[in-house]
Amino acid sequence: MTSFRQMLASLKADVRIIFEKDPAAKGLVEVVLFYPGLHAVLAYRLAHWLHKQNIPVLPRLVAFLARFATGIEIHPAALIGKNFFIDHGMGVVIGETAIIGDNVLMYQGVTLGGTGKQLGKRHPTLGDNVVVGAGAQVLGNIEIGNNVRIGAGSVVLHTVPSDCTVVGVPGRVVYQGGKRLDPLAHSQVPDPVADVIRDLIQRVDELEQRLASPPRPLSRTTDEYRNGLGI
């Protein structure tokens, strides 16, 4: 009974967090009827509860029907904390041994998957307050720390420490110096590749300016150099 009450409390938190994370959410009726991310999470909560009761087949059936209806696949055995929100959601896949902390925001096309046929823990572990951008792939038995932002389209294959941002393919860690960023402001995600390109362009401009400028006169004449060398 306690587990069932915890499931209901998680369901209420999942609905409430939508209004905090999505500025497009206009009312409870609209959210309940037209948010596939919410439908998938509600189905997962039920399937996970059934899974914990050791009921065979039925948890996978609930997950399968939710995938058919929403385009979101969440394995019943995955562990997901409270205040979990999948925005839009189409194409999201969360594997069997994945663990997701509290207050996690995830966009469409995200995969929390494995990297092979190994047994045991083979899917990622996400900490609290993590944001995973659209199309990001987080693969393998790795840990993503708290307050991490994963940029859209990133492929993360290694453990990521807390309080940083990951971008690129493969994912590269970019520290934010402790500055708190708005999790919905995708324009604030840094681009280290673009930074390197800008540095190279600046360096090329400096070299071109040096080549275009007239040569500086020698401070010593040719004869003085010869006399100094004994020629």
11-24 pLDDT tens trace = 778 888 888 888 88
Q: Would you list the DSSP string of 165-182?
A: EEETTTTEEEE-TT----
Query: Which residues does 190 contact at the CB level (< 8 Å), separation at least 6?
Result: 165, 167, 174, 176
Q: In what order do the strands lie in the sheet with 93-94?
A: 73-74, 93-94, 111-113, 137-139, 155-156
pTM of the model: 0.75
Residues forming beta bridges with residue 112, ordered by sequence position: 94, 138
* Whether residue 76 has a cis bond before it, omega within 30° of 0: no
pLDDT at 215: 66
63-100 pLDDT tens trace = 999 999 999 999 999 999 989 999 988 999 999 999 99
Q: What is the mean pLDDT of the chain?
A: 84
Q: What's the one-letter identity of residue 76?
A: P
Give the span between the Cα atoms of 156 and 150, in whole angstroms.
8
159-218 pLDDT tens trace = 999 998 998 888 888 866 555 555 555 555 566 666 667 778 878 888 878 787 776 665
Tokens for 41, please give them. Answer: 């999470």
Q: What is the sign, positive or negative, of the torsion defined by CA atoms of 108, 145, 178, 81?
A: positive
3-class DSSP state for residue 219? coil
Residues forming beta bridges with residue 166, ordered by sequence position: 150, 173
Tokens for 23, please give them. Answer: 């500025």
Tokens for 196, please give them. Answer: 């390197």
Give the span between the Cα atoms of 200 and 166, in whole angstroms.
22
